[in-house]
Structure 1
């Protein structure tokens, strides 16, 4: 395949990419990283959330070798750490390394909070021990932890998270985590919780597995450093189990066919590269799209670094459109953000942030060449002030084509947002530093619609949509772990209209979901949802270990699945429903 003019290798990285080598002085490394960390309050001795909606983005790239640092360094908002080895053990922090503590100990004494610790990640390295006290959109991947992995910071609330393809040699301590997904993780000891025994759902044999694309750094024959794009292949059977670090099932692509795009470059260079068949790597930054990016070539990779953010065109077009009958596409590591719309439904079309296939074309996909979505985070509202009613979409994600694997999708209609200059918080008892979203602001009618067959998602979170959170219309779908918060700002109409946390269409015959959790926190009205999950009664539609919980405030959820299960109306008390056979449940 001809890719046009070769791209430079090594690429011309912008300033938002920091590249480190083991030969660099440790103090120099730490000083360079410090500017990417969250702000530090010297008096209260805490990192703060002031960068929660920051426009800054950074990637910390570590060349293979050992880094003997004399203190740990925090991974802040919109920061990604990437080891550049072919194995996690190639980049090692034997003494001190990355960590994420709870934030805002001055606002939430004495332990702070991890509930808003979003939008950061770390991949492909080895460390002695690790604290990673995060919530959604903060994944750990391809990591080797010699000793303990702490997913909490004392008693600070946390609501994470995603750990994939990892090894933990000591204890894996969940602490006060509300939920967490461990996928393909080798653990020498069992998971431990806080004061209560964790409820754990184990799936021993996933049907399919595909790892996220990643970048490595090697040395060419001429001694020059050069980069490679590694593209893991689809695995089945026994190969889909356990951690996998040997790179035995990967394609290796030279960066001469990879275009690195920075946010300072003309936007049309992105589509130009895609049309040439090149892979695209987005450097950390915010990209304001003027038209949708169209993917027409099979097996292309679109990879974002440092929480690279694509802001949707103002005409209602999606950020990314994958055309039908284009198999094997991988889209990874991107934030997709809604814009203030300049027009409303120009052609009376339904709007979304990511569209895969077309609603009017039946594309079954290719069973031997699945597409993939990895670490995709949608955001509608939050970071933009002004008229909050102008930021809205009908769907965050629509998957019309079949044969797609999803791995860590967090689709978030912002329940809170940044304050404008001199603007005061509307619910100061909830937060003095954020605006709490009202019902007509940042609207999303449906979180995700899945119409394609054979869609497998490990780690799906959909929060605060104004209608159904999930609508599933395709057959043979599988979801491993689902987390959902219903909209805090809902009125009684939300219940009257029959909206659900998870809705399976009446024509679906086969669907499986493991460990779905749906939470209510109705702030404004005592809304009562009759049931959290609704699906047709079919022998091959199965929900395992479903539960609901009322987090706080008013109303609640009166049943879990199809009007079966106890009410969740007592603050903080989860209600569970476990399936033991077709149509039979016990609590």
Structure 2
């Protein structure tokens, strides 16, 4: 069903400034209101002329992954005998009030340009229309940053490329699929607040939130995570035409505990804003002009194109809408933060692509100032279909892509991506520490896609956070283990801060593919406090082709994910205070040495389980030490030193060091003082073969250990 034609129509033509040498019939003229890269079609135009324009855009964009071209292809209410193949940085949308106001034969994404592999089918979208596919199914074989919103598919929906090659999507919201959604080779997918006629299969991680017709919950075989309702949602703003032919931007209303589409029983509830209340930005506009419009109370509509910013865009008024169409891209040129939002109610950010500039920015998008604390539960800020890119078109740098300081923010489908391919890609060429940092309380994220950052991918510091679906790949390109570690080996993909007492996550996965040094290990995919209010459901970790290892799924539980078979390590649940405690290691073959020994009280006695002891033979003093060789590396998180019947011989003070080679010890992982015969020392889990304990106290009694044990 793919069409790829280059047109050559001689008469009465209007040429897009971004399609060199390609002309089209008057039907395809760029819209004078919505910028030079937006084309608006109506039913009075011939199907042939519309198809010509669609094919011309696709011919340019099919493999144009990192080019500067951007397009929005919009359809006024009516029925169109056309099929739109959708390439990079292209949005297809209906301009009706409801999806069934516009009908097309097909809106198709396949992967012929990439040998049948759909894993790079990024940055494209379809919204607010119906598809009546003549063959009975519509193909939408996409990966990240390619949402389907407010779409009625009158048939089956095939989410795989035509050869059933790899695919790494994806996201559907507020949509109706009359028949069966068919993922086939899709690795993971989130479907939210929709109705489906059925769901065919799952590969690794399929999540359904508020979906009527969702399959029964089952994990991991098949890997279905099902939330009957979505806790709090508000659909993305969208452009439409009113009865008098004027453009409006519709703002859907907030919903709680929702299921199914917003338009099942009539028009979507909400309000409309006339386009006159927006500053309509076209490529070339300056940041000062945009800030002046915001200060004057205008909303912003970014039409397709590239926007270079020499000053931060400051959104300061409650209820401001900043909407992009056609993958409008914002680039901070001089190391600034591209956009900030004040701690106000009801801001809506949607349809924007933040491209990092060559000078390192501290943050690309900041929602709320540091320390923001006002409640916005009644009218939250939303961040929807907002994407971040570090490298790809060329070198870029940003320490953090998205920082959320305000409370009650709804994150609804983002992709934060440090490029693993394209131009300007390398460990020191496109540096980026962290994708998302959430400091605000009561923030919820649906469809959190965060990939390849050089430290933690996500850091969640706020209380009562919730995530529904998380997909991650760790960075491909750490040059070696020493370059990628924080105490433990590597960085967890998703870290809930130690002080958080309430957090929930459903359907979350992290993958590794360390293609520079496949020996690299990440000690854990997820890291979170083990406390009653912190709960994870349906987790997985995957080593892609055996290129690296994720030792545990979360903390020290689950896993490992390793080996060439690319089989996930699954964990159905973790948290709520129910995780298993430290597990004692068998001491077979272990040996010990010490700074001093009293006669037959040799160091090996502390490992033999017979009640004999090691003893220092002299009063306890600062600097005495023992070293235990466990003969193999373990992900150690606790040791115990038991002086047994020699109850007064416990360490009055200690420092604990860990090492993988017995030579390089680094800083102590724990310090403290004993208070009785059994001294228990816990610390963050870390791979180690050797344990060194140094006495830092003093006493007249000897230092004795009857049993020494290690725990994972």
Kindly state the Cα deviation for residue 511 of structure 1 after the two structures are TM-superposed: 0.6
Name 1:424's counterpart in structure 2: none
Compared CA separation, residues 456 and 11, structure 1 to 2 (3 A): farther
Kindly state the Cα deviation for residue 363 of structure 1 after the two structures are TM-superposed: 2.2
Compared CA separation, residues 509 and 583, structure 1 to 2 (3 A): closer
Name 2:3's counterpart in structure 1: none
Name 1:331's counterpart in structure 2: 349
**2:336 is the alignment partner of 1:317:** yes
Name 1:415's counterpart in structure 2: 420
What's the secondary structure of 2:314's corresponding residue? strand
1:144 and 1:249 map into 2 onto residues whose CA distance is 18
Is the 8 Å Cα contact of residues 38 and 74 (structure 1) preserved in structure 2? no
Kindly state the Cα deviation for residue 48 of structure 1 after the two structures are TM-superposed: 5.3
Question: Which structure's residues are more often strand, by fraction?
Answer: 2
Name 2:175's counterpart in structure 1: 166
Name 2:76's counterpart in structure 1: 63
2:355 and 2:69 map into 1 onto residues whose CA distance is 15
**2:7 is the alignment partner of 1:19:** no
Kindly state the Cα deviation for residue 552 of structure 1 after the two structures are TM-superposed: 2.6
Kindly state the Cα deviation for residue 267 of structure 1 after the two structures are TM-superposed: 3.6
Structure with bigger gyration radius:
2
Deviations 1:134-187 (A, max 9, x none): 100000000001110010013211000110111011110001001010001201
Name 1:88's counterpart in structure 2: 99
**2:596 is the alignment partner of 1:578:** no
Kindly state the Cα deviation for residue 555 of structure 1 after the two structures are TM-superposed: 2.1
Kindly state the Cα deviation for residue 266 of structure 1 after the two structures are TM-superposed: 3.6
Kindly state the Cα deviation for residue 98 of structure 1 after the two structures are TM-superposed: 1.4
Further displaced range: 492-501 or 128-137: 492-501
Further displaced range: 183-192 or 206-215: 183-192
Kindly state the Cα deviation for residue 68 of structure 1 after the two structures are TM-superposed: 1.9
**2:221 is the alignment partner of 1:232:** no
Kindly state the Cα deviation for residue 34 of structure 1 after the two structures are TM-superposed: 1.8
Q: How does 1:44-59 map to 2 (within 5 A)?
A: 49=63, 51-59=64-72
> Which blocks of at least 5 consecutive residues in structure 2 are unaligned?
1-30, 205-219, 581-712
Q: 2:49 aligns with which of 13, 17, 28?
A: 28
**2:145 is the alignment partner of 1:137:** yes
**2:265 is the alignment partner of 1:253:** no
Name 1:430's counterpart in structure 2: none
Q: How many residues align?
A: 522
1:161 and 1:562 map into 2 onto residues whose CA distance is 27
Deviations 1:431-484 (A, max 9, x none): xxxx7x332121111111100001111000110111000100001111100001
Compared CA separation, residues 468 and 318, structure 1 to 2 (3 A): same
Kindly state the Cα deviation for residue 362 of structure 1 after the two structures are TM-superposed: 2.9
Is the 8 Å Cα contact of residues 418 and 451 (structure 2) preserved in structure 1? yes
What's the secondary structure of 1:118's corresponding residue? coil
Deviations 1:2-49 (A, max 9, x none): xxxxxxxx972222000000111000001111221145xxxxxxx952
**2:129 is the alignment partner of 1:125:** yes
Is the 8 Å Cα contact of residues 578 and 585 (structure 1) preserved in structure 2? no
**2:559 is the alignment partner of 1:551:** no
Kindly state the Cα deviation for residue 211 of structure 1 after the two structures are TM-superposed: 0.3
Is the 8 Å Cα contact of residues 517 and 546 (structure 1) preserved in structure 2? yes
Compared CA separation, residues 370 and 48, structure 1 to 2 (3 A): closer
Further displaced range: 283-292 or 181-190: 181-190
1:249 and 1:73 map into 2 onto residues whose CA distance is 29
Kindly state the Cα deviation for residue 584 of structure 1 after the two structures are TM-superposed: 4.0
Deviations 1:59-99 (A, max 9, x none): 00100011123xx2311101001101111000012xx2210
Name 2:195's counterpart in structure 1: 186
Is the 8 Å Cα contact of residues 173 and 193 (structure 1) preserved in structure 2? no
What's the secondary structure of 2:188's corresponding residue? coil
**2:259 is the alignment partner of 1:241:** yes
Q: 1:276 aligns with which of 296, 306, 313?
A: 296
**2:358 is the alignment partner of 1:340:** yes
Further displaced range: 113-122 or 263-272: 263-272
Kindly state the Cα deviation for residue 192 of structure 1 after the two structures are TM-superposed: 2.9
2:282 and 2:328 map into 1 onto residues whose CA distance is 9
Kindly state the Cα deviation for residue 553 of structure 1 after the two structures are TM-superposed: 4.8
2:285 and 2:336 map into 1 onto residues whose CA distance is 21
Name 2:362's counterpart in structure 1: 351
Is the 8 Å Cα contact of residues 162 and 459 (structure 1) preserved in structure 2? yes
Q: 2:510 aligns with which of 518, 523, 545?
A: 518
Kindly state the Cα deviation for residue 197 of structure 1 after the two structures are TM-superposed: 6.1
What's the secondary structure of 1:27's corresponding residue? helix
Further displaced range: 519-528 or 244-253: 244-253
Is the 8 Å Cα contact of residues 239 and 248 (structure 2) preserved in structure 1? yes
Kindly state the Cα deviation for residue 262 of structure 1 after the two structures are TM-superposed: 0.4
What's the secondary structure of 1:158's corresponding residue? coil
1:81 and 1:332 map into 2 onto residues whose CA distance is 15
Kindly state the Cα deviation for residue 234 of structure 1 after the two structures are TM-superposed: 1.3
Is the 8 Å Cα contact of residues 434 and 457 (structure 2) preserved in structure 1? yes
1:376 and 1:370 map into 2 onto residues whose CA distance is 16
C-alpha RMSD of matched pairs (Å): 1.9
Is the 8 Å Cα contact of residues 121 and 144 (structure 2) preserved in structure 1? yes
> Which blocks of at least 5 consecutive residues in structure 1 are unaligned?
1-9, 40-46, 345-349, 419-434
Q: 1:502 aligns with which of 494, 498, 501?
A: 494
Query: TM-score, normalising length from structure 1?
Result: 0.86
1:52 and 1:38 map into 2 onto residues whose CA distance is 12
What's the secondary structure of 1:271's corresponding residue? helix
Kindly state the Cα deviation for residue 268 of structure 1 after the two structures are TM-superposed: 2.6
Kindly state the Cα deviation for residue 585 of structure 1 after the two structures are TM-superposed: 6.3
